[in-house]
A = this chain, B = another copy of it.
Amino acid sequence: MTLSADILRGYTDAIILMQLQNGDSYGYRISREVSRISEGGLEMKEATLYTAFRRLEGAGMISSYWGDEMSGARRRYYTITELGREKLRLDRENWQQTKLTLDKLIGGQ
């Protein structure tokens, strides 16, 4: 596992929830958005992404529905719930704190 993969562990959920806060979306699009926004800094693996969807839905942070595309592959859309918004708020706060803490320990420069 790479270092960036390890950091993912703590924040995949937050990254997904952040995307959904801008409106409903689906797996393939979120994957590309993450690559685009991070300018290649992070590639979310499919297995990681879909595992996270199951986990988040089970926890009531997101809900899902099938899109009604008339052509092309079918898409499953996800919606963030109120619980998900609250979780995201906490995760983002936590990230700010984590930055301060790790900067103290391994250096900010």
Tally chain A residues at the interface, Cβ within 8 Å. Answer: 33
Whether the Cβ atoms of B15 and A94 lie closer than 8 Å is no
Whether the Cβ atoms of A11 and B106 lie closer than 8 Å is yes
Secondary structure dominating the interface of A: helix
What is the bound-complex CA distance between A10 and B1, given in angstroms? 10
What is the bound-complex CA distance between A101 and B18, given in angstroms? 14
Whether the Cβ atoms of B9 and A10 lie closer than 8 Å is yes
Whether the Cβ atoms of A98 and B4 lie closer than 8 Å is yes
Complex A-B: 30 CB contacts under 8 Å: A3-B91, A3-B94, A4-B10, A4-B94, A4-B97, A4-B98, A4-B101, A6-B9, A7-B7, A7-B98, A9-B10, A11-B102, A14-B106, A15-B105, A15-B106, A18-B105, A18-B106, A34-B105, A37-B104, A37-B105, A38-B101, A38-B105, A41-B97, A41-B100, A41-B104, A42-B101, A42-B105, A92-B106, A95-B106, A95-B107
